[in-house]
Amino acid sequence: MGLTPVAAGQRVTAALLNGLPVTLSQLATGSVASSVAETVIGTVTIPANDPTVGQGYMLRVFGSADDVLTPTLHLRLRLTSAAGTLISDFGTQTCRTATNMQFIVDCPLYFTAAGAAGAFYNFGEMREEFVTAAAVEHDSGSIGVAADTTAPVVIVITAVWGTSSASNICRTLAGALTRI
């Protein structure tokens, strides 16, 4: 799958439609405030038995953060829960004091094995405006992550504030998991 150019007046065929990206899961959004515990702020799910060898997915998450007194903020991607297998770690960022500081996470995942002993590779990229008003990029990935694809594979994004304050809020706003 990938980009399929379509010309004006072109007949729409099954082959053309089958070549278009398919959104499998909209992001279930969330937020965390007044906490220093790692907390799930977004979730997507790969349906059971959907992954096949050589197939991939793209996870895209949009979010923002507000804070005061320059706390630290740490975002991660995990399987299943805030205590689940770590698949991408974007590091601890010391935030400037601001509101609506944007971030975006893009993370392709490619399956190298399917079934009860399924496995995938991923390489997440996060661009954020936490540290400066200019976007900064952080990358992190994993090789050979075990995932039983006979059951749903749940991917979560988590956030951890370094200082608990009602003014320190990190939230996901939108996102999706798309088959590529």
The ranges assigned to domains in the chain are 21-179
**Measured between alpha carbons, how far is residue 109 from residues 28, 171, 176, 177, 179 in Å?**
19, 23, 13, 10, 9
pLDDT at 19 over 80: no
Q: What is the pLDDT of residue 21?
A: 78
Q: Would the pLDDT of 4 be above 80?
A: no
- Retrieve residue 39's tokens: 């907390």
Query: Which residues are bridge partners to 72 per DSSP?
Result: 94
Q: For 52-101, write each residue's pLDDT tens digit.
A: 998 899 999 999 999 999 999 999 999 999 999 999 999 999 999 999 99
Question: What does CATH list as the number for 21-179?
Answer: 2.60.120
Q: What is the pLDDT of residue 1?
A: 47
The pLDDT assigned to 11 comes to: 83
Residues 94-120: tens digit of each pLDDT: 999 999 999 999 999 999 999 999 999
pTM recorded for the entire structure? 0.89
Dump pLDDT digits (tens) for 111-160.
Answer: 999 999 999 999 999 999 999 999 999 999 999 999 999 999 999 999 99
Structure confidence by residue, pLDDT tens digits, 36-51:
999 999 999 999 999 9
Given a contact cutoff of 8 angstroms between Cβ atoms, the answer to whether 180 and 35 are in contact is no
The H-or-E segment that residue 18 falls in is helix 14-18
